[in-house]
Amino acid sequence: MTDQPTTDPGVDVEPAVAGGPPPAMPPPAPLESRDRSRRQVGEKVIGGVLFAASAVSILTTVGIVLVLLVEAGGFFMEVSPWEFLTGTRWAPLFRDQSFGVLPLVAGSVLVAVGAALVALPVGLAAAVYLSEYAPERLRRVIKPALEILAGIPTVVYGYFALTFVTPIIRTFFPDANIFNAASASIVVGIMIIPMVSSLSEDAMRAVPDALREGAYALGATRYEVATRTVVPAALSGVVASFILAISRAIGETMAVTIAAGATPNMTLNPLESIQTMTAYIVQVSQGETPYGTLEYRTIFAVGLLLFLITLAMNVASNTILKRFREVYE
């Protein structure tokens, strides 16, 4: 018996012609071109949305600067910038007006320096421990616990300073005022510890393990590896955390307003009552000062000065970071 090819009787089979032309490829389906055009339109829409999102911060900054310049310009048309920057008496809301901003600047610097003395060493030590000493399981508990401090409302810090920190200070220094710069500095320092520790620890963990292993191979101890290898290698990130924390301390408002008082006082004594630039802005912004008056425009002049101080700190930090990057790259 010979095998016969089996075919489906319901299907017509066209015999292949030997030597004939190859079968033509089917034309591209119109659905593919439609999908391609849809993807291109989707990419353009996503690009536009992302550009708009990135432009929001720039436009917001430009708007803030324009408002500060316009309102502060009206203030400086009536008050000399030299008097504003060099005067040692700040009393714009009294009958005998004086517009020397140095007492407000001195109060802000006093609180920022005191907060730095509290936060920088404690935050850096916590970062070194979390990066080089703490087991991974313990690190997962300690780091979120530290970051909880950043989520506490600042007004709570203010009342904590007034009801807990200030009585302790007055126990050791009976002459201290109820509202004083030392209490405000301590609570602001506690407030910015998570910023220093978290950012510094991230910078230290980004240091390659090869540097640590090389130091251990040379006989260094864990402390020497942490302080002489890891911290110098991560110094750019550590300095950035310091600058960011100090900027936060200078711009802090509610805790300083509650704890330090509202007395423009050009002093370096942390036991006296002071007033910072942000606290004065809060005082005038409560609505008791008529809109458009010279007293009202003082808040924009003070705000512009605060903006310039923060900008100068950012420029200085970028310069320091570039110098350290040149050393360790």
Q: Which two tokens stand for residue 43?
A: 């990419």
pLDDT at residue 114, rounded to an integer: 93
Query: Do 49 and 118 fall into the same domain?
Result: no
Domain boundary among 77, 100, 125: 77
Provide the pLDDT for residue 10.
Answer: 47
Asked whether residue 17 is assigned to any structural domain, the reply reads no
* Domain of residue 56, residue span: 42-77
Could you tell me if 69 and 107 lie in one domain?
Answer: no
Last residue of a domain, one of 77, 101, 126: 77
Query: How far does Cα 42 stand from its chain's mean position?
Result: 33
Residue 36 C-beta-side C-alpha neighbours within 13 Å? 6
- pLDDT for 24 equals 56
Per-residue pLDDT of the chain in tens (329 residues, 90 and over written 9): 444 444 444 444 444 444 555 555 555 555 667 777 778 777 888 888 888 888 898 899 888 889 889 888 888 888 888 988 888 888 887 777 888 899 999 999 999 999 999 999 999 999 999 988 888 888 888 888 888 888 888 899 999 999 999 999 999 998 888 899 999 999 999 999 998 998 898 888 888 888 888 888 888 888 888 888 898 888 888 888 898 889 889 988 888 989 988 888 888 889 999 999 998 888 887 767 777 788 888 999 999 999 998 888 888 777 777 776 644 44
Q: Is residue 3 part of a domain?
A: no
One domain, residues 61 and 122: no
Q: Say whether both 142 and 259 belong to one domain.
A: yes
pLDDT at residue number 160: 92
When divided into structural domains, the chain yields a total of 2
* pLDDT value at residue 145: 84
Identify whether the C-beta of residue 316 lies closer than 8 Å to the C-beta of residue 243: yes
Give the other-Cβ count within 10 Å of 102's Cβ.
Answer: 16
State whether 272 and 126 are in the same domain: yes
- 181 and 51 within one domain: no
The reply to whether 272 and 123 lie within a common domain is yes
Residue 153's SS3 state is coil
One domain for residues 55 and 171? no
State residue 20's pLDDT score.
54
Q: What is the pTM of this model?
A: 0.78
On whether both 298 and 192 belong to a single domain, the answer is yes
Closest by CA to 211, choosing from 148, 132, 145, is: 132
pLDDT at 110: 92
Residue 174: Cβ within 10 Å count? 8
Tell me, yes or no, whether 47 lies in a domain: yes
- Predicted pLDDT of residue 11: 46
- Residue-level pLDDT at 118: 93
State residue 266's pLDDT score. 86
